[in-house]
Structure 1
Amino acid sequence: MASPATDAPLSQQEILNTYRQMQSEMQSLIQQLTKFEMERNEHALVEETLEPLDPDRRAFRLVGGVLVERTVREVLPTVKEHRTNLDALVQNLKENLDSKQKEAAAWKAKYNIKTQEEVDAANRK
């Protein structure tokens, strides 16, 4: 069965709705990216703070809303692992965002979509 995109040309409203959906998805990715970058930075800060400390020193860690007492030796590897995972997640989100931006730009060029700012700038000339 063929997709609707190949059966008939898209209406103007369908083209705009698709473009708006792409913009919305990009906004969502940007919000996620910002959130995880902040979390990654917090983990890096904790890691920098804990590294010079005595490995047997007490350290407290928030686990599921509960503050748990551990040692620096126990907490530091977990913090490093979480930061590494966040690094990978941030990189993946950046790649997804780049892909979505290219897709939206191609869609915009294909259907000659102009934003209100572009229309206003063209009218000022």
Structure 2
Amino acid sequence: MSSTAAPEPKNEQEVIGIYRQMNSELQGMVQSFTKFEMDRNEHRLVEETLEPMDPDRRAFRLVGGVLVERTIREVLPTVTENRKRLDDLIEQVKTQMEAKQKDVSEWKAKYNIKTQEEVDAENKKR
């Protein structure tokens, strides 16, 4: 396995437990990825809205739950920097998700694990 080697299971229950845990971790990564993408899209929308406006126009920014008055000139660079950080974070999470997906697939193949959907599909073919 590539990134995190799971301990060798002693019985079938452990195999299934580790598989479920790996899938759970993967789902958590997918949720984080989705949240970060939504945040990035919001930042991009704010950038697109503010860029054509007068840089001296008032803008309000939420900082730690407090609404702070600034100018677009002060706010826009921060929004842009935050969006760039989110871009980097999304790429990192995407890489981690791909590695985890590979681990899950390898584990599934190694122990010949089949989901209920796969079993049902095989039964329909017969």
Common fold by TM > 0.5: yes
Is it true that 1:21 corresponds to 2:14 in the alignment?
no
* Matches of 1:10 and 1:98, distance apart in 2: 27
Please list every run of 5 or more consecutive structure 1 residues that lacks an aligned counterpart in the other structure.
none
**Percent identity between the two aligned chains:** 67
Please say if 1:85 is aligned against 2:67: no
Aligned position for 2:95: 95
Matched, 1:60 2:60: yes
SS at match of 2:77: helix
- Name the SS for the 2:67 alignment partner: strand
**Structure 2, unpaired ranges of 5+:** 1-5
Aligned to 1:112: 112
Q: 1:32 is matched by which residue type in structure 2?
A: S
Q: What one-letter code is carried by the residue in structure 2 that aligns with 1:19?
A: Y
The Cα RMSD (Å) is 1.3
1:70 is matched with which residue?
A: 70
Residue matched to 1:11: 11
Please show how residues 21-60 of structure 1 align to structure 2 within 5 Å: 21-60=21-60
Aligned counterparts of 1:39 and 1:4: Cα–Cα separation in 2:
36
CA displacement at 1:10 relative to structure 2: 2.7
- Structure 1 stretches of at least 4 aligned residues deviating more than 2 Å after TM superposition: none
